[in-house]
């Protein structure tokens, strides 16, 4: 299982690192610079609001399906039809809820129009993730890895044509153009994903099976509550910024937050890929009652090494990143927000290891209690900090919430699975963090241009991960060789 995890996580990271940086630094930044902070800030706030209720489209069906199909492949044909029917009914419920609550909190006119389009895109994304859960549950990780970036590839092609080809007038490009491009990309990705799954289901019998739908939803409700609570404490900040601040600065502050949040979200998307692979692997290991220690320690080491290096580099070079991405803006505030969000990035990445482990084991009661605490802390701190510190206050709230839930989930997993990382592991971790912090700080004192200083620091930090044995050379070598063979097949 360890070799399977290593082989597939490197391929997954490879395809995502190939696509995501260009998407973030090229397309997404260009769109915000073109449409402005106000327009993009409003879009971000409404898209995050729509995402808060994303679980109503799923009710935990995707996580339940991933775990269940990973342990019982023969159920794929039966569950694919039944769960698809359930998701169609949930789509109706989702639109009713977001429009009613949107109206209650003050959305009108253009805000409701944006909500309708963004909501439809969330429906498409929900179906894509559900269909992909079947693919990953069958341990077809290479195929799932390609599908994980397909929508972004299509978005890059569409937006690149409209932004830089010269055939599409830039003055006609607005936030709606950007959202419609997402719609097209999601539709194409969904069609391809469904075709792949149908190749493995065999003959499907399409019939309405209400008892089965109700049974599946009941089994999924604990997952649904967990995702709903996590959505609130992970995605609430932009919504509250736009709602709690005075109208004359609300959208612009949401836009400032979006500048820094973009890099945080990019890193978060890559970290999330670990959970996509780990959930079916953990579920299979737990079912077979095999030893989890090796896989947990291995995935934890890779995650910490990767996220800590990224976080420290972004903290010390935050101003440079903001000026590179938004050369015509005053980026002092966005730079501060990025520094704070990098702490959140490390924390939330660790939860993708231990939260996924607890999910695979069915410890949903504990996870729901932790998530509920996260929601309470999030709302309380945001209501205190946003009116006084605006977007910076929202970033600080995110850090507090993510760190708290991360620590609690770690100790719950440690107790349930009797995890033993050892004193030497923690000493190596402290040494690694200290050395990379000193290294990156010293790199900022170099007289070379900042991209060269950054590159030098990044290379040394990676070497330090091996020197401190946070990463093992033999494991990575085997990982690279096996993945290279895999990609040639």
The pLDDT tens digits for 103-159 are 998 888 888 999 999 999 999 998 898 888 777 767 676 777 778 788 888 999 999
**pLDDT value of residue 190:** 92
Q: Are 266 and 99 in contact (CB under 8 A)?
A: no
pLDDT at 77: 58
Least confident of 122-131, 220-229, 368-377, 408-417: 220-229
Q: Tell me, what's the pLDDT at 487?
A: 38
Domain boundaries, the chain: 2-421
Q: Which of 262-271, 329-338, 367-376 has the lowest mean pLDDT?
A: 262-271
DSSP for 388-432, written as a single string: HHHHHHHHHHHHHHHHHHHHHHHHHHHHHHT----HHHHHHHHHH
48-71 in b/e form (b: 16+ CB < 10 A) is bbbbbbbbbbbbbbbbbbbbbbbb
Give residue 318's pLDDT band: very low, low, confident or very high (50, 70, 90).
Answer: very high
Q: Where are the alpha helices (DSSP H) in 165-209?
A: 175-201
Q: What's the length of the chain?
A: 489
- Per-residue pLDDT, 482: 41
188 closest CA partner among 128, 114, 122: 128
Cα-based torsion angle of the residue sequence 307, 310, 311, 314 in order, rounded to the nearest 10 degrees: -160
The Cα 10–Cα 479 span in angstroms is: 7
Structure tokens at 191: 């069609």
Residue tagged 């231990």 (tokens): 354
What per-residue confidence (pLDDT) applies to 6?
54
Least confident of 1-10, 177-186, 316-325, 427-436: 1-10
pLDDT band at 76 (very low <50, low <70, confident <90, very high): low
Look at residue 439 and tell me whether its pLDDT is greater than 90.
yes
Tens digits of residue pLDDT in 401-418: 999 999 999 999 988 888
**Which residue did the predictor score with more confidence, 6 or 355?**
355
> What mean pLDDT comes out for the span 424-446?
93
Find which of 33-47, 348-362, 396-410 is predicted with most confidence, using mean pLDDT: 396-410
Q: What pLDDT score does 1 carry?
A: 47
pLDDT score recorded for residue 179: 93
To the nearest whole number, what is the mean pLDDT of the chain? 82
Q: Is the pLDDT of residue 88 over 60?
A: yes
Number of H helices, E strands in the chain: 17, 0
Q: Of the given ranges (208-217, 383-392, 427-436), which has the lowest mean pLDDT?
A: 208-217
Lowest mean pLDDT among 56-65, 155-164, 403-412: 56-65
Q: Is the pLDDT of residue 448 over 70?
A: yes
CA distances from 11 to 14, 15, 178, 480, 482 (A): 5, 6, 29, 9, 10
Selection from 1, 37, 408 nearest residue 233 by Cα: 408
Structure tokens at 88: 């169609």
Tokens of 31: 């769109």
Tokens of 295: 């896989």
H or E segment and range at residue 172: none
Q: Pick the residue with more confidence: 75 or 266?
A: 266
Ranking 192-201, 256-265, 344-353, 425-434 by mean pLDDT, the lowest is: 192-201
């Amino acid at each position: 299982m360890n070799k399977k995890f290593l082989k597939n996580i490197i391929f997954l990271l490879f395809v995502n690192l190939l696509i995501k940086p260009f998407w973030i630094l090229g397309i997404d930044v260009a769109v915000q610079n073109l449409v402005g902070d106000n327009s993009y800030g409003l879009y971000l706030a409404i898209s995050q609001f729509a995402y808060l209720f994303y679980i109503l489209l799923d009710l935990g069906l995707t996580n339940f399906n991933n775990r269940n199909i990973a342990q019982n492949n023969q159920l794929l044909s039966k569950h694919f039809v039944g769960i698809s029917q359930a998701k169609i009914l949930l789509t109706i419920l989702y639109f009713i809820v977001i429009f009613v609550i949107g109206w209650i909190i003050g959305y009108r006119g253009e805000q409701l129009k944006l909500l309708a389009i963004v909501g439809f895109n969330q429906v498409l994304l929900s179906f894509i993730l559900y269909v992909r859960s079947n693919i990953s549950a069958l341990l077809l990780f290479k195929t799932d890895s390609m599908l994980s970036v397909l929508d972004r590839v299509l978005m890059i092609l569409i937006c690149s044509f409209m932004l830089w080809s010269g055939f599409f007038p830039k003055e006609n490009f607005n936030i709606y153009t950007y959202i419609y491009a997402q719609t097209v990309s999601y539709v194409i990705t969904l069609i391809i994903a469904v075709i792949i799954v149908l190749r493995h289901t065999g003959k499907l019998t399409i019939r309405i099976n209400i008892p089965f739908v109700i049974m599946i939803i009941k089994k999924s409700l604990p997952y649904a509550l967990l995702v709903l609570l996590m959505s609130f404490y992970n995605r609430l900040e932009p919504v509250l910024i736009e709602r709690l601040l005075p109208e004359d600065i609300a959208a612009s502050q949401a836009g400032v937050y979006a500048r820094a949040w973009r890099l945080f979200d990019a890193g978060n998307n890559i970290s999330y890929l670990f959970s996509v692979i780990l959930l079916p692997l953990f579920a299979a290991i737990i079912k077979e009652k095999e030893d989890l220690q090796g896989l947990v320690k291995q995935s934890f080491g890779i995650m910490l090494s990767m996220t800590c290096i990224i976080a420290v580099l972004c903290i010390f070079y935050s101003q440079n990143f903001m000026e590179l991405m938004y050369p015509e803006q005053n980026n002092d505030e966005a730079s501060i927000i990025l520094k704070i969000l990098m702490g959140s990035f490390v924390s939330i990445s660790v939860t993708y290891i231990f939260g996924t482990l607890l999910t695979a084991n069915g410890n949903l009661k504990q996870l729901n209690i932790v998530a509920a605490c996260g929601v309470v802390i999030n709302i309380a701190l945001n209501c205190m900090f946003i009116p006084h510190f605006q977007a910076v206050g929202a970033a600080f709230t995110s850090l507090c919430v993510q760190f708290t839930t991360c620590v609690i989930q770690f100790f719950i997993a440690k107790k349930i699975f009797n995890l033993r990382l050892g004193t030497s592991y923690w000493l190596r971790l402290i040494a690694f963090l200290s050395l990379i912090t000193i290294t990156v700080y010293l790199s900022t004192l170099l007289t070379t241009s900042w991209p060269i200083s950054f590159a030098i620091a990044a290379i040394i930090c990676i070497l330090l991960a091996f020197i401190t044995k946070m990463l093992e050379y033999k494991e990575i070598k085997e990982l690279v060789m096996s993945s290279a063979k895999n990609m040639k097949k």
